[in-house]
């Protein structure tokens, strides 16, 4: 049982947690929507040891019920000197949390009749006309022509046969080739990068397996081809500006650079240095959000704030509309939130890539779906980024939120712990 002093501390924290003028959304007491302030503080007890134990440099957790912020906590610093306390308007590299946004942009074009989900991608990118397959990424066996064309929908669902480099994908001959070309390089045009990707073998027959991939990066080039706009410009005009996502972009403008959090990476050492408890170090990618890049990487390249990304979550929860502005029709928003895994991929398609932990996971167009343990129906919609960021919304309780930090790669399974604590916080 929490003491009276603990309750006062919780109340004061909830009043003062939002320290940014850029995001002064009033915090609604959790009790008004059926949750306990005291029990939600278990989230702080869960997360602070990551800071104190040197595992994460910082964190920001914002939780909402529908559009009402009911809880927000943060800890840590956002600079390499460990002097700058984290703020809730800090800007983070959200990596693969860009995928749902680019996927929605593609569905806008489908809704307008400018793109078809069943279009073969070589209609737009001729160099994908005759792909070859290295089964399971093994180059020792003979490369085989594909039986199926790669379709636009395969890029959205990671069933194209494309993959990632070995940092993210299973290490094999093909993922090592991805390492060699470095698809995330900011020093090439998007067209040049996709052309290099097209020269690599697939690791599976299209439309038969889930393999997390650069597919949405390739999709970004198709969007550019159709619209005649750079991807970032299209997203700004058709998603970010209408939603008021003023701090989301591939390249953050110079006037906001002081709000960009420094990026850390896991130390690549096996021996702990005496007196040093940090398991991370500065990342060479730390300037990613600040640098002007030659390409907009729609699968991995965006930077954003928790407040901005919450607007995108609300858009999905509201079936494509926010504050009277419709971005996508209800029909196509529902399509985006429906399992799209092909039958050929089996009953638990994501286990092929993520292992047994993904047994109860489905995947739609850009968004992961976790099934309710009791009903086995879709309940949680979510996705994450390579710097340990993630978002989620719960269709049963209407809770939703954003977790931000800046540590590459993902090492800690925080999202499952978060689900458990919030479930236990109901009144």
Domains delineated in the chain? 1-90+261-272 (no CATH), 92-251+292-365 (3.40.710.10)
pLDDT at 50: 94
pLDDT at 352: 72
pLDDT at 10: 36
Q: Are 88 and 60 in contact (CB under 8 A)?
A: yes
> H or E segment at 310?
helix 306-317
pLDDT at 15: 36
Provide the token pair at 417. 């712990």
pLDDT at 276: 57
Residues 17, 127: Cα–Cα separation, whole Å = 52
pLDDT at 9: 33
Classified as helix, coil or strand, 359 is: coil
pLDDT at 134: 94
pLDDT at 25: 64
Residues 313, 67: Cα–Cα separation, whole Å = 10
pLDDT at 269: 53
> H or E segment at 221?
helix 215-227
Give pLDDT < 50 ranges for the chain. Answer: 1-23, 270-271, 273-274
pLDDT at 189: 96
pLDDT at 16: 36
Say what the pTM is: 0.91
């Amino acid at each position: 049982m929490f003491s009276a002093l603990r309750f006062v501390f919780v109340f004061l924290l909830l009043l003062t947690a939002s320290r940014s003028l850029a995001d002064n959304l009033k915090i609604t007491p959790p009790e008004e929507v059926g949750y306990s302030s005291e029990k939600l503080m278990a989230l702080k007890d869960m997360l602070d040891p990551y800071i104190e134990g040197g595992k994460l440099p910082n964190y920001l957790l914002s939780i909402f019920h529908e559009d009402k912020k009911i809880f927000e906590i943060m800890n840590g610093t956002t600079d390499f000197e460990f002097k700058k306390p984290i703020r809730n308007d800090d800007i983070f590299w959200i990596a693969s949390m860009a995928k749902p946004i680019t996927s929605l942009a593609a569905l806008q074009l489908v809704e307008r009749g400018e793109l078809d989900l069943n279009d073969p991608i070589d209609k737009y990118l001729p160099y994908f006309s005759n792909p070859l397959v290295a089964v399971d990424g093994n180059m020792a066996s003979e490369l085989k022509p594909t039986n199926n064309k790669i379709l636009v929908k395969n890029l959205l669902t990671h069933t194209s046969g494309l993959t990632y480099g070995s940092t993210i994908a299973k290490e094999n001959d093909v993922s090592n080739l991805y390492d060699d070309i470095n698809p995330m390089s900011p020093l090439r045009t998007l067209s040049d990068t996709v052309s290099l990707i097209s020269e690599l073998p697939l690791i599976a027959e299209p439309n038969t397996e889930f393999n997390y991939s650069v597919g949405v990066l390739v999709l970004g080039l198709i969007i550019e081809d159709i619209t005649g706009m750079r991807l970032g410009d299209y997203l700004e005009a058709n998603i970010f500006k209408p939603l008021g996502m003023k701090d989301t972009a591939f390249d953050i403008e110079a006037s906001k650079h002081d709000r960009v959090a420094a990026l850390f990476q896991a130390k690549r050492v096996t021996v702990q240095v005496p007196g040093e408890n940090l398991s991370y170090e500065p990342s060479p990618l730390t300037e990613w959000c600040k640098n002007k890049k030659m390409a907009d990487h729609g699968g991995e390249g965006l930077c954003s704030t928790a407040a901005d990304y919450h607007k995108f979550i609300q858009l999905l929860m509201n079936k494509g509309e926010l504050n009277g502005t419709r971005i996508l029709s209800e029909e196509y928003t529902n399509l985006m939130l429906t399992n799209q895994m092909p039958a050929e991929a089996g009953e638990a398609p994501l286990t092929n890539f993520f292992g047994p932990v993904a047994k109860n996971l489905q995947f739609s167009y850009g968004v992961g779906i976790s099934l309710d343990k009791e009903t086995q129906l879709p309940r949680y919609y979510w996705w994450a980024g390579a710097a340990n960021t993630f978002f989620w919304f719960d269709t049963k309780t209407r809770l939703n939120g954003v977790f931000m930090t800046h540590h590459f790669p993902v090492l800690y399974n925080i999202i499952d712990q978060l689900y458990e604590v919030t479930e236990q916080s109901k009144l």
